[in-house]
Amino acid sequence: MKVAIVTDSNSGISQEEAKKIGVTIIPMPFLIDGEEYFEDINLTQEEFYKKLMSGADVSTSQPSISGVVEVWKELLKTYDEIVHIPMSSGLSASCETATSFAEEFEGKVQVVDNKRISVTQKSSVYDALYLASQGKSAKEIKEALLESGKNSSIYIMLSTLKYLKKGGRITPAAALVGRVLGIKPVLQIQGAKLDKFAQVLSFAQGRKKMIEQVIKDMTTRFGDQLKKGKLRIDMAYTYDKEKIETFRAEANKMLKKYNLEVSIIDPLSLSVSCHIGDGAIAIAVTEIIGDH
């Protein structure tokens, strides 16, 4: 059977890359000062950060479900089934909405809520492509992605508390104390939500802490996957790429003994970026199914 793979721009897969690898990308919409934009369609990363850092009112939205359904219908003219991989349901309602409407397609559309985002979501897309190439059905691909989905961790260090304060995720008093003391929060995504992980006083301290935690996850939670060679390390960043290059060099040095190195560096999903701002860096460890 021919199985189409669909995801959204939170995966970090650009429209150009999607054409090369044969997947369909649903662009995530944003409201900026009341005007709607679509990631990688009429809104670039550079334009987004320029508006965000200038103080524009930025908010996220979910794709029009009628538009998503039209994409499915069009694909089903040439494909037998569809695997749709949206961002984690813990970070957006778009997954739940898609799951509800997929019921109308009598099993031909399988929506995968494997609680991933950004580079880990991208990894799921490549796993789905691999499984489809092996002749797996949409349902079989969904089951495999759900099984491996929980085996991923992302750690993110912020350069500013401004956007957490703006989004109401911390109090103004906490943001003020953090700014005065130079505290930089380290957040984590393990499963559905973005949560606090640690506080550090410098980027150097934070980089070391995140790498050490990834290695701890590799050798404990994901020990079996490490032995089988089924782990990958990826990085993401917001706006400032120079910071991530330093991070990659440090990580590769510590990962060398495990025969691993950073595979890809992608801009962080804008749906996450609008809550954490510019200058953030992230590292992820992810179980993979295929070879990518």
Q: Give per-residue pLDDT as tens, 62-93.
A: 899 999 999 999 999 999 999 999 988 877 78
The contacts of residue 58 (CB under 8 Å, 6+ apart) are: 30, 31, 32, 48, 51, 52, 274
Give me the pLDDT at residue 191, please: 67
Taking 90 as the threshold, does the pLDDT of residue 274 lie above it?
no
Residue type, 37: Y
Q: What is the mean pLDDT of the chain?
A: 89
Distance between CA atoms of residues 51 and 58, nearest Å: 8
User: Which residues face 282 on adjacent strands?
Assistant: 156, 236
Give me the pLDDT at residue 273, please: 85
Among 41-50, 180-189, 240-249, whose mean pLDDT is lowest? 180-189
Distance between CA atoms of residues 62 and 31, nearest Å: 11
The contacts of residue 8 (CB under 8 Å, 6+ apart) are: 25, 26, 27, 28, 63, 86, 87, 94
When pLDDT is averaged across residues 127-152 and rounded to a whole number, the result is 96
Taking 50 as the threshold, does the pLDDT of residue 216 lie above it?
yes
Domains of the chain, with CATH numbers? 3-28+63-149 (3.40.50.10440), 152-287 (3.30.1180.10)
The tokens for 21 are 């690898």
Asked whether the beta carbons of 40 and 270 are under 8 A apart, the reply is no
Residue type, 27: P
Distance between CA atoms of residues 149 and 143, nearest Å: 10
Among 26-30, 113-117, 178-182, 252-256, whose mean pLDDT is lowest? 178-182
Taking 60 as the threshold, does the pLDDT of residue 38 lie above it?
yes
Asked whether the beta carbons of 284 and 124 are under 8 A apart, the reply is no
Q: Which residue's entry shows tokens 């997947």?
A: 23
Where on the phi/psi map is residue 153: left (φ > 0), alpha (ψ -120 to 50), or beta?
A: beta
The model's pLDDT over 151-165, given as tens digits with 9 standing for 90+, comes to 999 999 988 767 665
Distance between CA atoms of residues 269 and 11, nearest Å: 7
The model's pLDDT over 93-122, given as tens digits with 9 standing for 90+, comes to 888 999 999 999 999 999 999 989 899 999
The model's pLDDT over 48-68, given as tens digits with 9 standing for 90+, comes to 999 988 989 888 888 999 999
What percentage of the chain carries pLDDT values higher than 90? 64
- If you ran DSSP here, which 8-state letter would residue 199 be given? E
When pLDDT is averaged across residues 220-231 and rounded to a whole number, the result is 96
When pLDDT is averaged across residues 184-200 and rounded to a whole number, the result is 81
Taking 70 as the threshold, does the pLDDT of residue 167 lie above it?
no
Give me the pLDDT at residue 223, please: 96
H-only helix segments in the chain: 15-21, 45-53, 65-75, 94-102, 118-133, 138-149, 162-166, 172-181, 203-219, 223-227, 241-255, 270-276
Distance between CA atoms of residues 199 and 185, nearest Å: 5
Distance between CA atoms of residues 249 and 173, nearest Å: 36
